[in-house]
Amino acid sequence: MTNKLIGVSGSWITDSDGMFPGYHRSYVNDDYIDSVVQAGGVPVIIPVTTDLAVIRAQVAHLDGLILSGGQDVNPLEYGEQPRQKCGPTFPDRDWFELQLIKEAEQRHLPILGICRGAQLLNVYHGGTIIQDLSYADHELIRHSQPDQPTLPTHSVRVSADSPFASIFDQNEFTVNSFHHQVIGELGADLQVGITAPDGVVEGFSNFAYDGFEVAVQFHPEMLHRTHPQAQQLFKAFMENA
């Protein structure tokens, strides 16, 4: 058993009934936890906080960081106003995870961004987000999957000159898809490595980072039990931790 400690950024879930309706609880989906365990790591949930000293102490104990999925990133973070189809945001979480990225990069930790995590990583590096699929300048395939989480619904292609080519054993495979927003302008030092048939960015890496920093728009944590490509991604992440 490895002793590599992998932090998974958390969020809040709000009780809708029971004894304490409206009560906030810190959480992440269990798939993230199991993905780290199956890849040989020791997962810890990093709860949202706005205390910078606490954030620095959290990251100081980590060997790797996974940025999890969740709410839309606040458009103000990338210099835009919210459009009509922008979904719910969580500004405190945005700030919290932006600080996590900063601290993790300073320590040269491996970073894996997933869905929202990928979008936030792009924003951190100066990129933008298209706030809804309908705002794209051409028709896109369905990226908001109505089916079960473990059912891939569209294909992606891996660029031969990207780090993903050495992670995956195939240059084309299928993924699940649960997002209504997509990467707009790519941030500084970031390189597209995986694309959907409609051109949507499904994965990118930071070529200037002294370490492992990759992000994917799909949800490998939901696929890791049955799909080799998801397992290969977490394996590569752990090998760099």
Active site residues: 115, 219, 221
> 27 - beta bridge partners?
11
Which residues sit opposite 17 in a β-bridge?
A: none
Residue 203 three-state SS? strand
Q: Which of 167, 175, 165, 164 is nearest to 197 (CA)?
A: 175
101 within 8 A of 120, measured Cβ to Cβ: yes
Query: 3-state DSSP call for residue 43?
Result: strand
* Lookup: tokens for 47: 């709860």
Closest CA to 125 of 107, 138, 135, 111: 111
Q: How many CB atoms lie within 10 A of CB 169?
A: 10
The answer for 237, left when phi > 0, alpha when psi is -120 to 50, beta otherwise, is: alpha
